[in-house]
Amino acid sequence: MGVALTRAAQWTAAGIGVGKLEFTPLNVTLLNSIIKFVEYVSSKHPQEAAFVFREPLEWTSKLEISAFGSDYQISKKTVVSKENIDGSALMNFVVSTGVIKVSTFNQLAKLLEIAQKERLKETQACLEANRDPIAKILGPSFATVEGEDKSMLRLLEKVKKGDEVSQAEVQMKLFLLLQQLDMQLLNTSLQKISQEVRLNPQAIKNDMQLLQSFSGEGDRTVLKSINYTSEYEFSNGCRAPPWRQVHGDICYLIIETHDTDTLYVTCSTAGVFLNGGLIKDSEDIIYDKKGDIYKDLITFLKEKSSTFAENLTRIQQNFTLQKKAPTSRKTMKTEVPTNEELDQSEKFSDYQDKNKLERKKTPPKLKIRDTKKEEPSHMHKNLEVSHQKFSKDDKIQAKDQDPKKIKQDKEKDEIITTGKYRCMASHEKKILRAGSIGSEELSDSSSESEEEQQDMDRQQESNSDLPSEYWQIQKVVKYLKGGNQTATVIALCSMKDFNLASESCQLAIRDVGGLEVLINLLDTEETKCKVGSLKILKEISKNPQIRRCLAELGGLEIMVKILDSSNKDLKCLAAETIANIARFRRARQTVRLHGGIRRLVGLLDCVPMLSANLNAEQVKDIEVARCGALALWSCSKSKKNKTAIRRSGGIPLLACLLKSTHENMLIPVVGTLQECASESSYRLAIRTENMVKDLVRNLNSESQELQMHCARAIFKCAEDEATRNLVRAHNGLGPLVKLFSKPDNKELLAAATGAVWKCAISMENVDRIIESLDGVRLLWSLLKKPNPDIQASAAWAICPCIENAKEAGEMVRSFVGGLELIVNLLKSDNIEVLASVCAALAKIAMDEENLAVITDHGVVPMLSSLTYTRDDTLRQHLADAVACCCKWGNNRVAFGENGAVAPLVHYLKSKNPLVHRATAEALHQLSFDPKNCITMHENGVVKLLLNLMESTDEDLQEAAAGCISNIRRLALANEKARYK
């Protein structure tokens, strides 16, 4: 069932987010099959139906309490089954939240019977909330995984051992039943899919060429523009990246109509539909389906744009007239037939020929492109189209020229043509975004300003502007394509001699089709060719455009396979290249899905780092491990990859490598650990594997980069009190404080202050090696740094130091100008800085003398001006600061006069309970002023506070009750005054 849900079911978000099961015919069939299976197990397999799940299946149900019958114990708050195991009910339904928990197939069958007409929706909700139900039913060891599944072997081992034989047999039978269901669901889905009528790349391409021919700014055109998001076309005709082609995607379009907003469209084998558009400030697409699926592009546009449908009908009529009277044909700028008409009369090729005739009438143009007159949607047409515009006179003139010059010009034209078309997805998206402004605006701008907007300054239109290396690389790539092994090796050596760190050389290789050739060489049996190719790819993949192209061309999959090679040089080069490419999300996903994480973890297994007298092979093994760690460092930025590294046994291997004395090994290892330490399981492993000691040891390294990564790892691990104690036990606080003396390295300072902040949460750490080392003074001095990351980290670190210091008030006042400095940071534009400073001011204001000083420095109006923020972190600490500053009575009045009360009331509408608690306390303090009470009452504070009184947070309850009491007391006093 897990495999079927992953591969066969149709989800609204394929690989992104949680996703929902779409209500499609295929999914309905799958859901009905699952319902029948549950009923079948309950009636035919009583032992298996009574088997208690390892974890209950849990989801939010729409069932009403009245639907349950006599088999259940019903109260106002819950419904539980009378059937139980060791006093625990096998079905539990919480009425207020709708959350239901079921622990056996028997109970599932009863629920489906209760649900009646709603059982499809209940089954859908259950599967959406439990994406891998087998793992919950039988345990984590039966989770759906890619590759070899050894769960059955483990079950057999249980039976052989004789421990709880009957239970293991039941478990085995149930597992077999679930596997049979999985196969049945997969077969059903295949049958359904095979019956569907599907689009293909050629059909989409024909429609696109047709619509592009008759799109423009005129009122009678069918569209303003229609463009692909990527001009790169794979050999199968698709323009979607390979990892989306497996889901049936063919290409993505951006369409400007005359009467709607911009349409972002997915063309897939299933049909045409709207997607979520481009992610803001990114080149990626939101692939989720929006709305219905249409059978083809024309039908889709007819439904979405009435102007398109009208103009299409007019063109259809014009076309019919022109067929009757071909001699009266005129320029066809807006004439495009419908798909139905093409089926009945003329094919697309006839139209294309007709357009060629019309284009020949245009004046000859010798330039490749005219940026002042060209529309955005035609900026990168293939030069074959522009060559069609040449008249016969131009060809006659060309014959009179020098043949050598003609050949040279032809070669240059070919290289520019290829360069225009290859791997330009990111550039095309920028052009398309610019095109949404309107072609009229673009045409008014100068050619120079237009080129500035393009990310192709390195690919000038004029041949004379291209560097000489560009043409030399073109010739080298031709030799690479020759097929002769010796010539290929020589060509690779020649290419390696170029300055591959130069962007012009990198892009030249891409533009002439060198990337495809280099990737193909990786799939040969010749080791020398593979090594040479990887050496080049390792260097040029540092370019963001190149690495995206390599990922789209399938290079990562081949490199992952090379990791299994027995040749250690190949392993090193492949791992380093993967490390470069896997710096964006899609590439990291590709590595994981093709088994790359497991292979990379395997590279870490080498001889002990501290071994002496290493031979050449052992040294090579250590280099392989270093390259593997580099690749894992890049891949570990993904949460799923972190889990994959842990499951592949990466933690003990990283712990072993952490004992190395070599900086080049330690940096990627610590880098991987600090990325993974955001997960609690890794923090526990780092502590139990005794890695904290090694991290502290490396804080004394001469490498500032290594120090920074160690400090970041400690910052993340110090979330846990046990780790904070270990840092102190291994004398790590001193080295951390000493890092403050390196003011030039901003990243190092930010990491060190963050680590000190987390360590200072423990009182013992503030007393030993922070106060005695004058660490608080050093932290305070970092507030003067202009870098907002350093300011925020320093302010956060100051908070626990003040809270846990013995003489906190006197310590803070001892810093000359320190209070004025921290108050002035409230003028920052950085949210993190503002939140951390508010948190620090809340601690400072606990001392009356310090509160008086910061009040004199204008803290009240500054805090009041921030109350309109919508950031919950800032809201929480801002409310804390207001509450603490209100302990001086005059400040309550001042906050009211500065308009802080009404915005604070609206904080109670936040969904964050921490904001609720802090805000309730602030309002309680402010409510001691009558005018503030009136403002609160006018903004509906009583109702909001009463809603929060149901919280289990006693501090929140107390503050809310106090605020309501003050408001009611004021209202009572007003009534008495009015009566008198």
Q: Would you list the DSSP string of 917-975?
A: HHHHHHHHHHTTSHHHHHHHHHTTHHHHHHHHTTSS-HHHHHHHHHHHHHHHHHHHHHH
Query: pLDDT higher for 255 or 415?
Result: 255
Are 884 and 845 in contact, with CB atoms under 8 Å apart? yes
Asked if residue 91 has pLDDT above 70, the reply is: yes
Q: What is the mean pLDDT of residues 937-964?
A: 88
Model confidence at 433: pLDDT above 50: no
Question: What is the per-residue pLDDT for 949?
Answer: 83
pLDDT tier, 603 (very low <50, low <70, confident <90, very high otherwise): very high
pLDDT digits (tens, 9 = 90+) for 753-774: 888 888 888 878 776 675 555 6
- pLDDT, position 12: 63
pLDDT of residue 834: 95
Cross-strand partners of 11 = 21
115: tokens are 């649900």
Range in 4-13, 554-563, 756-765, 788-797 with the lowest mean pLDDT: 4-13
Min mean pLDDT across 1-5, 180-184, 216-220, 703-707 is at 1-5
Which helix (H) or strand (E) is 111 found in, with range? helix 105-115
Residue 151 — pLDDT band, cuts 50, 70, 90? low
> Can you tell me the distance from the alpha carbon of 129 to that of 540, in angstroms, rounded to the nearest whole number?
43
pLDDT in the model for residue 191: 59
| Partner residues linked to 273 by β-bridges | 266
Percent of the chain with pLDDT over 90: 28
Instruction: Report pLDDT digits (tens) over 609-645.
Output: 666 677 888 889 889 999 999 999 999 999 999 999 9
Distance of alpha carbon 601 from alpha carbon 597, whole angstroms: 6
pLDDT in tens, 169-180: 777 777 777 777
Cα gap 946→27, rounded to integer Å? 44
Residues 454-480 have a mean pLDDT of 61
Does residue 161 contact residue 32 with C-beta atoms inside 8 Å? no
Compare 700 and 331 and report the one with higher pLDDT. Answer: 700
At 368 the pLDDT is 31
Question: In whole angstroms, what is the distance from residue 315 CA to residue 630 CA?
Answer: 59
Both tokens of 719, joined, read 């979330």
- When pLDDT is averaged across residues 54-72 and rounded to a whole number, the result is 87
Which residue matches tokens 């196969």? 183
d(CA 230, CA 416) in angstroms, rounded, equals 18
At 387 the pLDDT is 35
- Cα distance between residue 536 and residue 515, in whole Å: 10
pLDDT at 905 over 90: yes
* C-beta separation of 692 from 655 below 8 A: no
- Judge residue 166's burial from the number of C-beta atoms within 10 Å of its C-beta, 0-12 exposed, 13-18 middle, 19 or more buried: exposed
What digits encode the pLDDT tens for the residues 396-432? 344 444 454 444 444 444 443 444 333 443 343 333 3
Q: So what's the pLDDT on residue 575?
A: 95
| Phi, psi (degrees; rounded to nearest 5) at 352 | -65, -40
Using 50, 70 and 90 to split pLDDT, how confident is the model at 21?
Answer: confident
Given a cut of 60, whether residue 49 has pLDDT beyond it is yes
At residue 172, the pLDDT reads: 74
Mean pLDDT in residue range 918-937:
91
Q: What is the pLDDT of residue 442?
A: 29
Which pLDDT value is given to residue 384? 34
The pLDDT assigned to 693 comes to 92
pLDDT above 80 for 294: yes
Residue 197 has a pLDDT of 52
DSSP 770: I
Does pLDDT of 456 surpass 50? no
In the numeric block, the tokens 């088999």 are attached to 71
488 vs 711, higher pLDDT = 711
Amino acid letter, 480: L
Confidence of residue 822 (pLDDT cuts 50, 70, 90): very high
Q: Which residues have a Cβ under 8 Å from the Cβ of 949 and sit 6 or more positions away?
A: 957, 960, 961
Cβ atoms 687, 726 nearer than 8 A: yes
Query: In this predicted structure, what is the pLDDT of residue 23?
Result: 64
Q: Estimate the share of the chain in helix, then strand, then coil, as percent rounded to the nearest 5.
A: 65, 5, 30
Give the length of the chain.
Answer: 980
| Least confident segment among 141-145, 760-764, 842-846, 876-880 | 141-145
> Tokens at residue 658, please?
């952490």
The reply to whether the predicted model has a pTM over 0.85 is no
Q: In sequence order, what are the beta bridge partners of 272?
A: 267, 294
Q: What is the dihedral of CA 662, 716, 641, 610, to 10 degrees?
A: 20
Question: Closest Cα partner for 181 from 37, 324, 351?
Answer: 37
Average pLDDT value over all residues in the chain: 77
Q: In this model, does residue 385 exceed pLDDT 80?
A: no
Beta-carbon contacts of 174 under 8 Å, excluding residues fewer than 6 positions away, are 41, 45, 48, 51, 137, 138
Kindly tell me if the per-residue pLDDT of 1 is higher than 60: no
**What's the rounded Cα separation, in Å, for the pair 549 and 516?**
9
- Alpha carbon distance, N-terminus to C-terminus of the chain: 77
